[in-house]
Amino acid sequence: MPDISLTTLVLLCLAALVAGWIDAVVGGGGLLLLPALLLGLPHVPAAQILGTNKAVAIVGTTGAAVTYVRKAPVQVWTAVRIGLAALAGSMGGAFFAAGISSDVLRPVIMVVLLAVAAFVMLRPSFGAKAEGEERAPLTRARIVTAILVVGGGIGFYDGLFGPGTGTFLVLALTAVLHLDLVTASATAKIVNVCTNAGALAMFAYQGTVYWQLAAVMAVFNLVGGTVGARMALSKGAEFVRGVLLVVVLSLVAKLAFDQWA
């Protein structure tokens, strides 16, 4: 446990609570949790920050995933296969990360995210499910595409760069598997559990996790994740769509700040 004040601990726990809620609804909780840890623990090495972040996030993500699986029509085995592909992809992305400049990637990702925001705003029906509409069956071709493109591709991006991975997962799963946004969020949570578990195992092996701090923050992250999942299930795709737009535009703003500030 690092030497921090009670005020800092309370603020970190509140950040974990809100991050868990955001991540459960549409992904992107790391946009809040990671900067909060960096600000709250300014003298702690980056490896410890990243390891502690994963130890907190996996608890909220797991809580959200369990809540979704109990109440949403999620094909768990399909989600796990995509998650395993994402885990392999993230390892590949991490291997190449040292040779890629984030200054080059940020403008590209900003353009992609702005295009995504425009698409979601101009297509109100994207990820929505009409009253009484049955979900289209998952064909073998679409499942294979999801494993290779969504799992492998976004997993590679996660290892290479990272910001917004959960949001990209929700969007890609909606597009490739023709899921509504709520079911896509549920599936993305299971994929995230797989990738977080792989990353946490590596950080734990390297001894770069503050387990006591992570345990305290994880309680709040779990509450946020569970509440967020229940709200997404009760309020439906339109609610998720609104949160998605806020998160996408926030991510663009953060990337712009990192690039030019």
31 closest CA partner among 211, 171, 167, 219: 167
- In this prediction, residues 58-75 reach a mean pLDDT of 89
- Taking the CA atoms of residue 217, residue 208, residue 192 and residue 195 in that order, the dihedral angle to the nearest 10 degrees is -170
**Higher per-residue pLDDT: 38 or 163:** 38
Q: Given this model, what pLDDT does residue 126 score?
A: 61
Q: Given this model, what pLDDT does residue 140 score?
A: 85
**Higher per-residue pLDDT: 117 or 213:** 213
Q: What is the average pLDDT value for the chain, to the nearest integer?
A: 83
Q: pLDDT digits over 97-123, tens only?
A: 556 665 666 687 778 778 877 877 777
Q: pLDDT digits over 216-243, tens only?
A: 999 999 999 999 999 988 888 788 888 8
Q: Which residue has the tokens 């990637």?
A: 105
Taking the CA of residue 177 as centre, how many other CA atoms within 13 Å lie in the half-sphere pointing to its CB?
32
Q: Say which amino acid occupies 151.
A: G
Q: Given this model, what pLDDT does residue 97 score?
A: 58
Q: Given this model, what pLDDT does residue 85 score?
A: 94
- In this prediction, residues 7-11 reach a mean pLDDT of 93
Q: pLDDT digits over 125-179, tens only?
A: 665 654 445 555 678 888 999 999 889 998 888 777 666 788 888 888 988 988 8
**Higher per-residue pLDDT: 184 or 158:** 184
Q: Given this model, what pLDDT does residue 244 score?
A: 78
Residue 58 has pLDDT above 80, yes or no: yes
Q: Given this model, what pLDDT does residue 99 score?
A: 65
Q: What Å distances lie between residue 247 and 53, 92, 242, CA to CA?
A: 19, 27, 9
Q: Given this model, what pLDDT does residue 11 score?
A: 93
SS3 content of the chain, % helix, strand, coil (to 5): 80, 0, 20
- Taking the CA atoms of residue 100, residue 58, residue 206 and residue 88 in that order, the dihedral angle to the nearest 10 degrees is -50
Q: By the 8 A CB rule, do 82 and 146 touch?
A: yes
